[in-house]
Chain A
Amino acid sequence: MTDQTVSSVTDPNSVRKMINVQAPPAVAWRVFTEQMATWWPLAVYKIGKAAAVDAIIEPRVGGRWYERGDDGSTCDWGSVLSWEPPSRLVLSWDINADWQFDPDLKTEIEVRFIAVGQDATRVELEHRRLDRYGARRDEMRRIFDTEGDWGRLLAAFAARAAAA
């Protein structure tokens, strides 16, 4: 099911989204980067064993992007590649096919906050380099043929999607 308020462009190796928000870029930026737990579907996407209660982005290039569990544990999701408040954010999403943090398997999420008039923002998001999971043959073969288990990744997605 597609929400009509979010538009999409088709590209096999990336997911692109655009949404209009009735809030100035500074507010949109702040909610995205500082209040992620208020909107991120933690019930759907988290990797730790504990129930996730927060998602945190450290506000600087090289900062960690991680979840915090209700037991205080943390699990890295990736890191900050670009930090340009309030207009552009690039995160790496380093979750490998084992559903583990793996700094060698970076996909990228770029988010741009574009002012529309005084009080509105167009938010453009691109989740790219998904080919790092699939289209690069040698990597794909390695994932399929060795311990890397992208079946578990899909299964984890399935379990989380079903629980949502």
Chain B
Amino acid sequence: MINAERTLDALGDPTRRLVFKRLRAGNRSVTEIARGLAVSRPAVSQHLKVLKTAGLAVVHIEGRRRLYAVDRRGIEALRSWLDGFWDKALVAFRDAAEREAARERKPR
């Protein structure tokens, strides 16, 4: 089970978002992901670890190489986020509709 809040938190960091974007290219090693980024390779490893914990990255072992890719469960996090979004929006909608109904019931 992916924790949506953790997923969204994980993407709150701009460098981590950049690392995540690079995962879309398919299975890549840490070195490949770090290439051209303004952060160190260990820092990229750390970001990958956070992304993995958040359900946004998966690791495949190929021989002696650890290759990272996007974890499709991220979409589930999006659904969860929308779920919470609609909870909030509908409660706000209900309050607005009830205010409007109360206003109309009042004699003028």
* Residues of chain A whose beta carbon lies under 8 Å from any beta carbon of chain B: 1-3, 5-6, 8, 12-13, 15, 17, 19-24, 27-28, 30-32, 35, 38-41, 44-45, 119, 121, 123, 125, 127, 130, 133-135, 140, 144-145, 149-155, 157-159, 161-162, 164
- Binding site secondary structure of chain B: helix
Q: For the complex formed, measure the closest distance between the CB of B92 and the CB atoms of chain A, giving whole angstroms.
A: 4
Residue of chain A at shortest CB distance from B16: A155
Partner of A44, one of B25, B85, B95: B85
Residue pairs across A and B with Cβ atoms less than 8 A apart, 18 shown, are A2-B87, A12-B76, A13-B79, A15-B82, A17-B86, A19-B90, A19-B91, A21-B93, A21-B98, A31-B97, A45-B85, A121-B97, A140-B72, A154-B11, A154-B78, A158-B9, A158-B12, A162-B12
Can you name the residue of chain B whose Cβ is closest to the Cβ of A23? B101
**Across the A-B interface, how many residue pairs have beta carbons closer than 8 Å?**
132
Per the bound structure, the CA–CA distance linking A9 and B6 in Å amounts to: 22
Main DSSP-derived SS at the A contact region: mixed
Size bracket, chain B contacts: 35 or more
